[in-house]
A and B are shown apart, each in its own frame.
Chain A
Amino acid sequence: DVKVTQSSRYLVKRTGEKVFLECVQDMDHENMFWYRQDPGLGLRLIYFSYDVKMKEKGDIPEGYSVSREKKERFSLILESASTNQTSMYLCASSSSKLLRAPRTGELFFGEGSRLTVL
Protein backbone atom coordinates (compact mmCIF):
# COMPACT_ATOMS: atom_id res chain seq x y z
CA ASP A 1 0.00 0.00 0.00
CA VAL A 2 1.03 3.54 -0.67
CA LYS A 3 2.05 5.36 2.43
CA VAL A 4 2.29 9.11 2.75
CA THR A 5 3.65 10.21 6.08
CA GLN A 6 3.45 13.69 7.50
CA SER A 7 5.90 14.46 10.25
CA SER A 8 3.59 16.13 12.75
CA ARG A 9 -0.09 15.55 13.41
CA TYR A 10 -0.53 18.58 15.64
CA LEU A 11 1.56 21.73 15.94
CA VAL A 12 1.09 24.95 17.90
CA LYS A 13 3.24 27.88 16.86
CA ARG A 14 3.40 31.58 17.58
CA THR A 15 2.93 34.38 15.09
CA GLY A 16 6.17 35.08 13.26
CA GLU A 17 7.72 31.67 13.83
CA LYS A 18 9.13 29.65 10.95
CA VAL A 19 7.27 26.39 10.43
CA PHE A 20 8.37 23.29 8.55
CA LEU A 21 5.91 20.62 7.54
CA GLU A 22 7.52 17.46 6.21
CA CYS A 23 5.97 14.86 3.95
CA VAL A 24 7.46 11.57 2.78
CA GLN A 25 5.99 9.02 0.38
CA ASP A 26 7.31 5.51 -0.14
CA MET A 27 6.01 4.62 -3.60
CA ASP A 28 8.39 6.50 -5.88
CA HIS A 29 5.63 8.87 -7.02
CA GLU A 30 6.58 11.70 -9.33
CA ASN A 31 3.94 14.17 -8.21
CA MET A 32 3.51 15.62 -4.77
CA PHE A 33 1.09 18.24 -3.49
CA TRP A 34 0.36 20.42 -0.48
CA TYR A 35 -3.22 21.41 0.28
CA ARG A 36 -4.87 23.18 3.15
CA GLN A 37 -8.38 22.31 4.24
CA ASP A 38 -10.67 24.77 5.97
CA PRO A 39 -14.37 24.41 6.86
CA GLY A 40 -16.62 25.52 4.02
CA LEU A 41 -13.69 26.08 1.66
CA GLY A 42 -12.68 22.55 0.86
CA LEU A 43 -9.13 21.62 -0.07
CA ARG A 44 -7.12 24.37 -1.68
CA LEU A 45 -3.88 23.73 -3.52
CA ILE A 46 -0.87 25.59 -2.15
CA TYR A 47 2.03 24.19 -4.18
CA PHE A 48 2.82 21.07 -6.14
CA SER A 49 5.84 19.39 -7.63
CA TYR A 50 6.15 16.94 -10.49
CA ASP A 51 9.85 16.27 -10.18
CA VAL A 52 12.81 16.75 -7.89
CA LYS A 53 13.71 20.42 -7.51
CA MET A 54 10.63 21.38 -9.52
CA LYS A 55 7.77 23.29 -7.98
CA GLU A 56 4.72 25.12 -9.18
CA LYS A 57 2.38 27.50 -7.43
CA GLY A 58 -1.11 26.36 -6.76
CA ASP A 59 -4.05 28.60 -6.00
CA ILE A 60 -2.94 30.06 -2.66
CA PRO A 61 0.89 30.12 -2.54
CA GLU A 62 1.22 33.43 -0.70
CA GLY A 63 2.99 33.05 2.61
CA TYR A 64 4.32 29.58 1.76
CA SER A 65 7.31 28.05 0.07
CA VAL A 66 8.26 24.44 -0.67
CA SER A 67 11.31 22.30 -1.14
CA ARG A 68 11.76 19.05 -3.01
CA GLU A 69 15.38 17.96 -2.79
CA LYS A 70 14.59 14.26 -2.98
CA LYS A 71 11.85 12.48 -4.88
CA GLU A 72 10.23 11.02 -1.79
CA ARG A 73 10.18 14.19 0.29
CA PHE A 74 8.20 17.40 -0.14
CA SER A 75 8.40 20.08 2.52
CA LEU A 76 6.11 23.03 3.11
CA ILE A 77 7.61 26.09 4.78
CA LEU A 78 5.86 28.97 6.44
CA GLU A 79 8.56 31.63 6.68
CA SER A 80 6.65 33.74 9.21
CA ALA A 81 3.51 32.09 10.48
CA SER A 82 0.35 34.15 10.81
CA THR A 83 -2.94 33.40 12.51
CA ASN A 84 -4.73 33.06 9.17
CA GLN A 85 -2.50 30.10 8.42
CA THR A 86 -4.16 28.09 11.17
CA SER A 87 -5.51 25.14 9.23
CA MET A 88 -5.29 21.44 8.42
CA TYR A 89 -2.45 20.81 5.97
CA LEU A 90 -2.63 17.75 3.76
CA CYS A 91 0.18 16.34 1.68
CA ALA A 92 -0.60 14.05 -1.25
CA SER A 93 1.24 12.13 -3.92
CA SER A 94 0.32 10.62 -7.24
CA SER A 95 2.01 8.18 -9.55
CA SER A 96 0.03 9.10 -12.63
CA LYS A 97 1.09 11.71 -15.08
CA LEU A 98 -1.82 13.57 -13.58
CA LEU A 99 -0.56 16.93 -14.51
CA ARG A 100 -0.44 16.08 -18.19
CA ALA A 101 -3.01 13.32 -18.58
CA PRO A 102 -5.69 13.88 -16.01
CA ARG A 103 -7.72 10.75 -16.62
CA THR A 104 -6.52 9.09 -13.47
CA GLY A 105 -7.26 11.10 -10.39
CA GLU A 106 -6.05 9.12 -7.47
CA LEU A 107 -4.17 11.18 -4.95
CA PHE A 108 -2.85 9.43 -1.87
CA PHE A 109 -3.05 11.67 1.15
CA GLY A 110 -1.18 11.75 4.41
CA GLU A 111 -3.13 11.95 7.65
CA GLY A 112 -2.76 15.69 7.84
CA SER A 113 -1.00 18.19 10.08
CA ARG A 114 -3.22 20.44 12.13
CA LEU A 115 -1.41 23.73 12.65
CA THR A 116 -2.56 26.34 15.14
CA VAL A 117 -0.87 29.73 15.06
CA LEU A 118 -1.37 31.83 18.17
Chain B
Amino acid sequence: RKEVEQDPGPFNVPEGATVAFNCTYSNSASQSFFWYRQDCRKEPKLLMSVYSSGNEDGRFTAQLNRASQYISLLIRDSKLSDSATYLCVVSAPHGDSSYKLIFGSGTRLLVRP
Protein backbone atom coordinates (compact mmCIF):
# COMPACT_ATOMS: atom_id res chain seq x y z
CA ARG B 1 0.00 0.00 0.00
CA LYS B 2 1.29 3.44 -0.91
CA GLU B 3 1.96 5.80 1.97
CA VAL B 4 -0.08 8.55 0.30
CA GLU B 5 -2.82 7.61 -2.13
CA GLN B 6 -4.71 9.79 -4.55
CA ASP B 7 -7.15 9.17 -7.37
CA PRO B 8 -5.09 9.95 -10.48
CA GLY B 9 -8.11 11.31 -12.38
CA PRO B 10 -8.33 13.10 -14.67
CA PHE B 11 -11.21 15.10 -13.33
CA ASN B 12 -12.74 16.87 -16.32
CA VAL B 13 -15.03 19.72 -15.24
CA PRO B 14 -16.57 22.81 -16.86
CA GLU B 15 -15.55 26.29 -15.85
CA GLY B 16 -17.41 27.42 -12.75
CA ALA B 17 -17.81 23.92 -11.36
CA THR B 18 -16.91 22.85 -7.85
CA VAL B 19 -14.53 19.90 -7.65
CA ALA B 20 -13.12 17.98 -4.69
CA PHE B 21 -10.10 15.72 -4.37
CA ASN B 22 -9.37 13.32 -1.56
CA CYS B 23 -6.13 11.83 -0.39
CA THR B 24 -5.49 9.12 2.20
CA TYR B 25 -2.30 8.51 4.15
CA SER B 26 -1.15 5.46 6.03
CA ASN B 27 1.18 6.76 8.74
CA SER B 28 -0.76 7.82 11.82
CA ALA B 29 2.36 9.62 13.07
CA SER B 30 2.13 12.15 10.24
CA GLN B 31 1.99 15.68 11.60
CA SER B 32 1.84 18.08 8.68
CA PHE B 33 -0.17 18.09 5.49
CA PHE B 34 -0.02 20.12 2.32
CA TRP B 35 -1.35 20.47 -1.19
CA TYR B 36 1.08 21.25 -3.97
CA ARG B 37 0.21 22.14 -7.53
CA GLN B 38 2.21 21.01 -10.55
CA ASP B 39 1.58 22.42 -14.01
CA CYS B 40 2.41 20.35 -17.06
CA ARG B 41 6.20 20.07 -17.48
CA LYS B 42 6.79 22.35 -14.53
CA GLU B 43 8.02 21.89 -10.99
CA PRO B 44 5.64 21.44 -8.02
CA LYS B 45 4.76 24.52 -5.99
CA LEU B 46 3.11 24.81 -2.61
CA LEU B 47 -0.59 25.60 -2.92
CA MET B 48 -1.58 25.53 0.74
CA SER B 49 -0.98 23.90 4.06
CA VAL B 50 -3.77 21.89 5.67
CA TYR B 51 -4.63 22.64 9.28
CA SER B 52 -6.59 20.51 11.70
CA SER B 53 -9.47 22.96 11.82
CA GLY B 54 -9.64 23.24 8.05
CA ASN B 55 -8.59 26.32 6.16
CA GLU B 56 -9.57 28.38 3.19
CA ASP B 57 -7.62 30.44 0.69
CA GLY B 58 -9.91 32.18 -1.75
CA ARG B 59 -11.63 29.52 -3.84
CA PHE B 60 -9.63 26.71 -2.24
CA THR B 61 -10.62 24.90 0.95
CA ALA B 62 -8.57 22.19 2.60
CA GLN B 63 -9.80 19.78 5.25
CA LEU B 64 -8.06 17.22 7.43
CA ASN B 65 -9.65 14.19 9.07
CA ARG B 66 -7.07 12.62 11.35
CA ALA B 67 -9.35 9.85 12.57
CA SER B 68 -9.89 8.57 9.04
CA GLN B 69 -6.46 9.69 7.81
CA TYR B 70 -7.60 11.63 4.83
CA ILE B 71 -7.17 15.11 3.45
CA SER B 72 -9.38 16.91 0.98
CA LEU B 73 -9.11 19.87 -1.35
CA LEU B 74 -12.18 21.67 -2.62
CA ILE B 75 -11.99 24.10 -5.51
CA ARG B 76 -14.98 26.35 -6.08
CA ASP B 77 -15.78 28.27 -9.26
CA SER B 78 -13.12 26.45 -11.28
CA LYS B 79 -11.05 28.51 -13.72
CA LEU B 80 -9.27 27.31 -16.84
CA SER B 81 -6.03 28.22 -15.08
CA ASP B 82 -6.78 25.67 -12.35
CA SER B 83 -5.95 22.89 -14.80
CA ALA B 84 -2.96 21.14 -13.26
CA THR B 85 -1.97 18.14 -11.19
CA TYR B 86 -2.61 18.47 -7.47
CA LEU B 87 -0.20 16.65 -5.19
CA CYS B 88 -1.12 15.61 -1.67
CA VAL B 89 1.91 15.82 0.62
CA VAL B 90 2.28 14.42 4.11
CA SER B 91 5.14 14.58 6.58
CA ALA B 92 6.31 11.42 8.29
CA PRO B 93 9.04 10.54 10.76
CA HIS B 94 12.35 9.58 9.21
CA GLY B 95 14.90 8.07 11.53
CA ASP B 96 15.14 9.16 15.14
CA SER B 97 14.85 12.89 14.87
CA SER B 98 13.90 13.96 11.43
CA TYR B 99 10.90 14.12 9.17
CA LYS B 100 10.45 13.86 5.45
CA LEU B 101 7.73 14.85 3.03
CA ILE B 102 5.94 12.07 1.19
CA PHE B 103 4.26 13.01 -2.06
CA GLY B 104 1.20 11.38 -3.57
CA SER B 105 1.32 10.68 -7.27
CA GLY B 106 -1.19 13.45 -7.92
CA THR B 107 -4.70 14.06 -9.18
CA ARG B 108 -5.02 15.63 -12.59
CA LEU B 109 -7.64 18.34 -13.10
CA LEU B 110 -8.80 19.54 -16.50
CA VAL B 111 -11.12 22.56 -16.57
CA ARG B 112 -12.86 23.01 -19.92
CA PRO B 113 -14.47 26.19 -21.30
Contact = CB atoms under 8 A, between A and B. Distances in A.
Main secondary structure of the interface of B (DSSP, over half): strand
A107 B43 CA distance: 11
Main secondary structure of the interface of A (DSSP, over half): loop
B87 interface: yes
Interface residues of A, number: 26
Nearest to A114: B41
Contacts of A103: 31-32
Contacts of B97: 99-100
Interface stretch (B14-22, B60-68, B98-106): B98-106
A105 B100 contact: no
Interface residues of B, number: 27
Interface in A19-75: 35, 39-45, 48, 50, 56, 58
A39 B106 CA distance: 10
Interface of A: 35, 39-45, 48, 50, 56, 58, 90, 98-100, 102-107, 109-112
16 contacts: A35-B103, A41-B105, A42-B103, A45-B101, A45-B102, A99-B97, A99-B98, A99-B99, A100-B97, A100-B98, A102-B91, A102-B101, A105-B49, A105-B101, A107-B46, A109-B44
Given A56-B98, A98-B101, A102-B91, 8 more contacts: A48-B100, A56-B94, A102-B32, A103-B31, A104-B49, A109-B43, A111-B43, A112-B43
Interface of B: 4, 8, 31-34, 42-46, 49, 87, 89, 91, 94-95, 97-106
